[in-house]
Amino acid sequence: MTKKVIRAGSISRRRLLTTASAGAALAASSFRINLAQAQETPIKIGFPVPLTGPYGAEAQDQVRAAQLAIAQFNDAGGLNGRKAELVVRDDKLNPGEAATRTLELVEKEKVNFVVGSLSAAVQLAINNVTKERGIIFNSISQSDAINEATDFSKYTFHEALNPHMTAGAVGRYAFSKFGKKVAFLTADYAYGHEMVRGFLEVGKEFNIENLGDIRHPLGTTDFSTLLPRLQALKPDILCISNFGRDQQIVLKQATDFGVKKSIQIIAPLLSHASRVAAGAQAFEGVVGGCSFYWGIEDKFASTKAFNDAFRKMYDGKLPTDYGALGYGGVRTMLEAVKSAGTVETDKVIAALEALKYDYYKGPQYYRKCDHQSVQSVLVIKSKSTDMKNDSDVFEVISTEEPSEKSLRTCEALGHKS
C-alpha cells in the first residue's frame, strides 16, 4: 500500500497523514481486539456465484443455504473450536471474471476450499484455477465436462447433478408419455448443448424423432421470432434447455403464443427461483427435473431437518433446489474436514471420497473415479392450483433412485478404471 502511494505520487502529504492517522486510530480501536482474538484463522470457503445477471435469483439462494451450513458447523463447535467462514464473490456469470475472482480467493483471501458456480461454462474456468493451485473445488452447478478425464483432477468434486443424469431422467419420463416427435430450443452454450446431447442419447431408447434444434444466445429477452418456427414443426414435445431468466421469459412468451395448447413443454431443469419469479401462469404444466424439492420432507428425515433449520434462519422461508446445492456443497466439505480432523487437502479428499452422506435429500456418495455425487433425480411438474404456500410450486411426479447406472461409465469419461 505504501509503495503504491509513493509511486502514484499524486496524493498530497495531508492526505497521506489523514490516511495514516485513520489507520492508527483503527488499529487502536476495538477492531484490533477482534483481530487478536481470531488468532487461529477461520476455515475459509471461497464461494464464487453469479449474484448479478440472469441467474442472480438462483445464486442468492445458493449463498443463503451455504450460510446455513457454515452456521451449523460453527454452532457445533467447528473443527476443535476453529470456525468456518464463507467468502462470497460475484462471478457475474462470466468465465474470465470467475477465474479472476477465484484466483483472488486463493491468493489474497487464502481460502482452504472453493465451493460454488452456477454455469456449465463458468465452473470449468474455476476448476482450471483450483486444479492448478491444488485447492479442492466442489461444483454446485450442472456440467458433464467436469466429470470427464480431460477436465477432472483429484481436487474436483461435483455435488450437483449433471446433464446426462438430468436429461436422462426427464427424457425417460417424457418420451414414454407425451410422444416421439421432439423439437428443441436451446441456450447456445455448454449447458444447453450438454442437455440436448443427454436428451438425444436417452431418446435413442425411445426412437424419438428429432425435428430440429433452434439455438438462442444466453440472455435473450424476446423469443417471439423463434416460437412461430417451432410451432410450425408441430412437435409432440418442445424441449427447452435454458436456465434462469431465459427460462422465465421463454415460458412466459410460449404461454402467450399458445404453444401449450397442443405441445407438451419439457425442460431438463425447472428452477424453483425462476418459477417464483415468473409466476404460476408461465410455468403451468411444464415438466422438468431437479435435484431437490422441499416437498420430499415427508420422505426423508434429512430433508425435514434441513427445511426446518432453513425456515428458522430465514423467517419461515423454504429452501430451493439451487439453495440445497449450496448447502450440500459446503456441508459435505465441512463434514469431511471434521472426519479428517484437519484442512489438509489430501486428507480432506480421502474423507470426501469415503463419505456416505444423507444431509438434505436422501442417500448420496461421491463416485471414486470422477467425484460425481451419485444421487436421486426428481421429475417435477409445475402447479398452478392447490398451492398451500408460496413455495408449494411443484409436484414430484417421478423419482429416479440414486444409481451409478444413470451416470456415464468411468471408462466412457476417459478415466482409468
Partner 1 sequence: MAGLSFDLIALQLFAGLALGAIYVLFAIGLSLIFGMLTVVNFAHGAFYMVGAYVGLYLISLGGNFWLCLVAVPLLVGLFGLAVERILIRPLYGRGIDYPLLLTFGLSYVMVECVRIAFGKTGYPFDTPEVLQGAVDIGVGYFPLYRLFVIGATAVVLLALWLFLEKTSFGLIIRAGARDPQIVRVLGVDVSRVWLIVFGIGTAIAGFAGLLAAPLQGVIPEMGGTILAEAFVVTVVGGMGSIGGAVLAGLLVGVVVSMTSLFAPEMAKVSIFALMAIVLIIRPQGFFGRAGLMS
Q: Binding residues for partner 1, per CB under 8 A? A: 51-53, 56-57, 60, 188, 211-212, 214-217, 219-222, 224-226, 228-229, 231-234, 245, 248-249, 252-253, 256-258, 273, 276-279, 281-282
Please say which residue, 276 or 305, places its beta carbon nearer to partner 1. Answer: 276
CB of 68 to partner 1, least distance (A): 18
Please say which residue, 154 or 234, places its beta carbon nearer to partner 1. Answer: 234
Please say which residue, 29 or 281, places its beta carbon nearer to partner 1. Answer: 281
Please say which residue, 204 or 261, places its beta carbon nearer to partner 1. Answer: 261
CB 85, CB 42: distance < 8 Å: yes
Q: How do 181-187 and 209-216 pair as beta strands?
A: parallel
Amino acid (1-letter code) at residue 149: A
CA gap 127, 160 in Å, rounded: 14
CB 181, CB 158: distance < 8 Å: no
CB of 213 to partner 1, least distance (A): 9
Q: What is the DSSP letter of 109?
A: S
**H or E segment to which residue 120 belongs:** helix 120-133
Please say which residue, 56 or 78, places its beta carbon nearer to partner 1. Answer: 56
CB of 133 to partner 1, least distance (A): 30
Q: Distance from CA of residue 292 to its chain's centroid?
A: 11
Amino acid (1-letter code) at residue 277: A
Cell 469431511, residue located: 336
CB of 323 to partner 1, least distance (A): 13
CB of 88 to partner 1, least distance (A): 13
CB of 57 to partner 1, least distance (A): 4
Q: What is the DSSP letter of 408?
A: P
Please say which residue, 280 or 350, places its beta carbon nearer to partner 1. Answer: 280
CB of 214 to partner 1, least distance (A): 5
Please say which residue, 256 or 404, places its beta carbon nearer to partner 1. Answer: 256
β-partners of residue 378 are 290, 399
Sign of CA dihedral 138, 143, 147, 150: negative
CB of 274 to partner 1, least distance (A): 9
Q: What are phi and psi of 182, to 5 degrees?
A: -125, 130
CB of 188 to partner 1, least distance (A): 6
Please say which residue, 110 or 229, places its beta carbon nearer to partner 1. Answer: 229
CA gap 203, 209 in Å, rounded: 8
Sign of CA dihedral 248, 53, 219, 58: negative
CB 122, CB 79: distance < 8 Å: no
Residues sharing a CB contact under 8 Å with residue 16, sequence separation 6 or more, in sequence order: 5
CB 62, CB 51: distance < 8 Å: no
CA distances from residue 301 to 47, 171, 289, 297, 304 in whole angstroms, order as listed = 27, 29, 22, 7, 5
Please say which residue, 233 or 355, places its beta carbon nearer to partner 1. Answer: 233
